[in-house]
Every structure is written in structure tokens, then in C-alpha cells.
């Protein structure tokens, strides 16, 4: 059968790759994961597997590095290169680069399996759904096929892909899962609205695994790789009341490990909070984004009132659940005053923890960046250009108060937990850019991460050092020649 090496340029467990690997293995194909930043000789690791195909999972901030690594792989072993993931889905024109032979768009279990079957049988694959193929100077552009509506028809995600190869994932005390796919909402800064429109059966975009399927998936994974904490990293876990009533009581009885999950705070109810608490949930995460109700509705398409947010947090606290809120800074139309008000609003509604991110004009989002009276600089999100390595670094979108907002971002967590720092922020943002602010951010983020996930001091040091090294240093390294 055919072989594929997945190459990823970050240190996260990607559920999409686990799903693809599981489907390919079910059909008899062989898979291997290579994270170059964890390897001494990454190109040798790829070549030694003798793959028929090398696939890159690419986020928008990784596109430039992915092209560099693809060029190195092609030079070293000369096998076909395929790009997949969120960035090629919205920007398949990356296939025009000499190093890229194919692009896979959208959910790809069936399409990638069909491609691997064709490679194994030496058959034509230029007509496979979701696939763009470059051959003999021509690019074959196939439409995106239908979503898999019943997730229970898929094999359990292949956790072995990560855990059997890298101790970093195996030993981490938190094991993360997906209860479903998609989101029923269409926030303007999120890729979900764009992804939904790709599929002919878009009405089935938001889907959950059945309670029985997910329980069995958890049992098998946790029996082999124990966890102190379980996380459900769905875009929206607390949505379907009926599904929650089916799954959460069984989780509490049959799994019982403390867990965290995501919610939309304006949809939180006593019934949902009670189900979460009784199942041993300890923390719920939600997107607050901005303190401006007008901006939330008009710019971000996130229609919820201040009162709904405060009420949702109050309900979760009533049942002893800790609350972490996400805020977005420097979105089009944001200002330093608005961003500071967002920090203050987080304090006033009594969230327990906060995380802020700087707006990124990624391909596929509805929130377009255009010139306006605030001296906004137009960006073309479709072009491959140098960008930050993640949304904690800086924002490529520039407007009047961007520099002040970027400094506020570095002080956001500390300003939330310290009233003194909060009062000093209007003065601190007037200072020149200072690496001390980056250090403050890293330390405060690591400290809060410890509190959120209930890690030991040593675990915090070990995993945050690894994360910092990969995020801020190793990704900048050049692809080796051997």
C-alpha cells in the first residue's frame, strides 16, 4: 500500500491529521508524522520512511515556512508534495509555487484516501473531489465534495500518530479531544462561515459524534495514554442541549476525569451548567472579544448583550465552574480606549482567567480590512507574505492605535489580575517598544496557564519552555539540506 509522511510546523496536536491517519490506516496505507522542530535530522526522518507522498498541514502564518520546507523535501527526496489545512483551503493558488504539486481543500478523509489508493494502483487522480493537481503545466481544479454528515462512520482518531512518536504529547497531563465539527454561527473574524459555504451540504456543517461513539473513543485513548485532565477543544461544545443530556451523564459515570470545554456565553443556562458540573467539568471557555456591544454586533457579527455575558458568567460561577474569556484586540475599528475598556469589562464581569489575541486578516474570514477614516492600511490576506508566527506576536493590520494596543496586549493578563498594573497601562503604552513587555507576557501567560490547567511548577516550566522555544525560536530556523 501507499505511504505518506505528514509534516507540521507547530507543536500542537492536530485532530485533522489524526482523523486522516486513522482513515488511511483503515484502508491499509501507512502514515508517519514529522515535526521538524522536534527532530535532529528531519529530512532524514522523512526520507527513511520512503513515502509516496509528503503532506504539509498549513496554517496561514505557516505558509512561508511550509514553502521553504517543501522545497527542501523535494530537493532531498523528490516525491510529490501536497498542501492541506485551513490556508490552502482558502488559498489553493499556493499550488503555483514550484514546490507544491497538489492542494487538498476542506475535510479530506475520503479525498486523501482516494488519492492514496490511486497512487498505490498507479491510477489517475486528477478528478478527485477537493483536490487541485498540477501536471504538465496544467492545474486540475476539482470542486469540494460533500461533508461527512455522520461522524460515527469514521474510525477513531489515530492518537498513535503523535503519542507513539513524541513523548512531548504522550506525557502531557492534558489530553484533548473533539466532540464534533463545525459551528452554527458565522462570526466575521472566524473561518467557519467561509468553510461552511464550501460544501454542497452546508446545512450539515455543525455535527456532533454520538454519545456512545465519543465515550468509546475516550475510553480507548485514555486507557493507553492516561490523562489528569481532558479538554474538548470544539469551536462550540455547549450548544445542543439534547446532546449534552445524552453525553455528559455518561462521561461523569464512565470517564469522570476533570475536563474543560467551550461555550457561547449568551446561551449558557442553569440546566447546561448543572450538567457540566455533575460530569466533573471544572472550567468553561468563551469568546467575549470586545467590550463594545456595537462593535460585537456590527463589526464582529457576534450579537450578544453585556447583560447576557454577565449573566452567563454568573450562572457558571453559581455552579462552581471557573470561567476563561477570550478577547480580540486591534480588530478593524478598535482603539486603545476600546481595548482598555475590554480589559476592564473582563474584570467587571468577574471572569477568572483571560486571554487576548491580536486580530489577524487571515484568508477566508468575512471581516475585510479596508481603508477608512481611521487611516487603516488595506491588506490583501490572500497573498503569501511574511507574518507573525502566531496571534500572540503582533498584528500585521495597522491602524491609529495599533502600537499602543500591541503593548496593552502584552500586559493584558497582568492588568486583569492586578489593579495597579491596570491603572498604569495608559502610561506604559506610551513607552517605546520594549522586550520587557514580551517577557512580562510570557511569564504572565505561563503563570495563568498553570492556574487554568492545574499544572505543577515543574510541568509549567517544562512545557512552556518547549512551547516558547518552538514558537519564538525554532520556527525561524532554516530548513536543513540534509
**55 and 190 housed in the same domain:** no
Give the pLDDT confidence score for residue 11 in this predicted structure: 87
Give the pLDDT confidence score for residue 293 in this predicted structure: 98
Q: How many CA atoms lie within 13 A of 17 on its CB side?
A: 28
Instruction: Report if residue 158 sits inside a domain.
Output: no
Instruction: Report if residue 293 sits inside a domain.
Output: yes
Give the pLDDT confidence score for residue 378 in this predicted structure: 36
pLDDT tens-digit map of 113-164: 999 999 999 999 999 999 999 999 999 999 999 999 999 999 999 999 999 9
**189 and 295 housed in the same domain:** yes
Instruction: Report if residue 152 sits inside a domain.
Output: no
**192 and 300 housed in the same domain:** yes
**124 and 180 housed in the same domain:** no
User: What's the domain range around 426?
Assistant: 174-454
What nine digits make up the cell of 10? Answer: 507547530
Within 10 A of 408 (CB to CB), how many other CB atoms are there?
A: 24
Instruction: Report if residue 149 sits inside a domain.
Output: no
Q: What is the dihedral of CA 335, 339, 345, 351, to 10 degrees?
A: 160
- H or E element, residue 5: strand 3-8
Edge-to-edge strands, sheet with 30-34: 30-34, 3-8, 53-57, 81-84, 102-104, 131-135, 138-141
**31 and 113 housed in the same domain:** yes
- H or E element, residue 341: helix 336-348
Instruction: Report if residue 462 sits inside a domain.
Output: no
3-state SS, residue 49: coil
Instruction: Report if residue 168 sits inside a domain.
Output: no
What nine digits make up the cell of 106? Answer: 476542506
Give the pLDDT confidence score for residue 475 in this predicted structure: 56
Least Cα distance to 112 among 159, 80, 67, 65 occurs for: 80
**214 and 86 housed in the same domain:** no
Our count of domains for the chain comes to 2
Give the pLDDT confidence score for residue 371 in this predicted structure: 35
**402 and 268 housed in the same domain:** yes
DSSP code for 143: P
Distances in Å between the Cα of 32 and the Cα atoms of 24, 35, 171, 479 are 11, 10, 19, 19
Give the pLDDT confidence score for residue 455 in this predicted structure: 85
pLDDT < 70 positions in the chain: 368-393, 467-478, 480-482
**90 and 196 housed in the same domain:** no
Least Cα distance to 73 among 46, 52, 95 occurs for: 46
Answer yes or no: are the C-beta atoms of 237 and 262 closer than 8 Å.
yes
**301 and 417 housed in the same domain:** yes
Domain with 199 in it: what CATH number?
A: 3.20.20.70
Domain with 101 in it: what CATH number?
A: 3.40.50.280
Instruction: Report if residue 131 sits inside a domain.
Output: yes
**133 and 181 housed in the same domain:** no
Strands (E) in 138-290, as ranges, are 138-141, 174-177, 180-181, 207-208, 229-232, 259-262, 281-289
Answer yes or no: are the C-beta atoms of 115 and 128 closer than 8 Å.
yes
CA distance 377 to 371: 6
Answer yes or no: are the C-beta atoms of 31 and 6 closer than 8 Å.
yes
Instruction: Report if residue 166 sits inside a domain.
Output: no
**110 and 211 housed in the same domain:** no
Give the pLDDT confidence score for residue 474 in this predicted structure: 58
Give the pLDDT confidence score for residue 376 in this predicted structure: 36
**134 and 204 housed in the same domain:** no
CA distance 355 to 288: 10
CA distance 166 to 37: 11
Least Cα distance to 8 among 376, 465, 45, 27 occurs for: 45
Sign of the CA dihedral with 163 first, then 167, 170, and 175 last: negative
pLDDT tens-digit map of 10-65: 889 999 999 999 999 999 999 999 999 889 999 999 999 999 999 999 999 899 99
Amino acid at each position: 500500500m501507499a505511504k505518506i509522511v505528514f509534516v507540521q510546523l507547530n507543536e500542537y496536536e492536530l485532530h485533522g491529521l489524526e482523523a486522516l491517519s486513522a482513515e488511511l490506516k483503515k484502508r491499509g496505507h501507512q502514515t508517519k508524522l514529522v515535526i521538524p522542530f522536534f527532530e535532529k535530522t528531519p529530512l532524514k526522518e522523512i526520507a527513511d520512511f520512503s513515502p509516496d507522498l509528503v503532506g504539509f498541514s498549513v496554517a496561514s502564518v505557516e505558509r512561508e515556512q511550509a514553502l521553504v520546507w517543501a522545497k527542501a523535501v523535494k530537493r532531498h527526496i523528490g516525491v510529490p508534495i501536497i498542501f492541506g489545512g485551513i490556508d490552502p483551503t482558502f488559498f489553493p493558488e499556493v499550488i503555483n509555487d514550484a514546490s507544491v504539486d497538489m492542494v487538498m481543500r476542506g475535510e479530506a478523509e475520503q479525498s486523501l484516501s482516494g488519492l492514496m489508493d490511486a497512487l498505490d494502483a498507479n491510477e489517475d487522480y486528477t478528478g478527485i473531489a477537493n483536490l487541485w493537481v498540477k501536471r504538465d503545466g496544467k492545474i486540475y481544479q476539482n470542486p469540494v465534495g460533500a461533508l461527512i454528515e455522520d461522524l460515527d462512520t469514521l474510525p477513531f482518531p489515530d492518537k498513535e500518530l503523535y503519542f507513539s512518536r513524541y513523548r512531548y504529547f504522550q506525557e502531557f497531563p492534558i489530553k484533548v479531544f473533539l466532540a464534533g465539527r463545525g459551528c452554527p454561527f458565522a462570526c466575521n473574524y472566524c473561518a467557519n462561515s467561509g468553510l461552511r459555504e464550501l460544501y454542497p451540504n452546508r446545512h450539515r456543517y455543525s455535527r456532533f459524534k454520538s454519545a456512545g461513539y465519543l465515550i468509546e473513543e475516550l475510553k480507548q485513548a485514555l486507557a493507553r495514554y492516561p490523562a489528569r485532565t481532558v479538554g474538548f477543544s470544539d469551536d462550540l461544545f455547549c450548544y445542543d442541549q439534547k446532546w449534552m443530556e445524552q453525553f455528559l451523564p455518561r462521561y461523569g459515570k464512565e470517564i469522570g476525569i476533570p475536563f474543560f470545554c467551550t461555550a457561547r456565553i449568551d446561551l449558557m443556562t442553569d440546566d447546561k451548567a448543572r450538567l457540566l458540573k455533575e460530569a466533573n467539568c471544572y472550567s468553561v471557555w468563551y469568546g467575549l472579544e470586545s467590550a463594545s456591544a456595537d462593535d460585537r454586533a456590527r463589526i464582529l457579527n457576534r450579537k450578544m448583550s453585556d447583560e447576557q455575558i454577565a449573566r452567563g458568567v454568573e450562572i457558571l460561577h453559581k455552579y462552581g465552574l471557573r470561567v476563561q474569556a477570550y478577547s480580540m484586540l486591534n480588530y478593524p475599528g478598535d482603539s486603545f480606549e476600546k481595548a482598555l475598556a475590554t480589559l476592564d469589562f473582563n474584570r467587571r464581569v468577574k471572569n477568572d482567567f483571560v486571554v487576548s489575541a491580536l486580530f489577524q486578516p487571515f484568508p477566508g474570514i468575512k471581516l475585510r480590512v479596508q481603508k477608512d477614516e481611521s487611516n487603516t492600511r488595506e491588506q490583501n490576506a490572500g497573498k503569501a507574505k511574511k507574518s507573525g508566527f502566531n496571534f500572540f506576536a503582533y498584528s500585521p493590520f495597522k491602524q491609529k492605535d495599533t502600537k499602543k494596543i500591541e503593548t496593552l496586549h502584552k500586559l493584558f493578563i497582568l492588568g486583569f489580575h492586578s489593579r495597579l498594573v491596570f491603572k498604569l497601562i495608559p502610561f506604559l503604552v506610551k513607552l517605546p517598544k520594549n522586550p520587557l513587555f514580551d517577557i512580562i507576557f510570557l511569564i504572565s501567560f505561563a503563570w495563568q496557564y498553570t492556574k487554568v490547567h492545574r499544572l505543577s511548577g515543574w510541568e509549567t516550566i517544562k512545557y512552556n519552555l518547549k512551547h516558547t522555544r518552538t514558537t519564538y525560536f525554532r520556527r525561524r530556523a532554516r530548513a536543513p539540506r540534509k
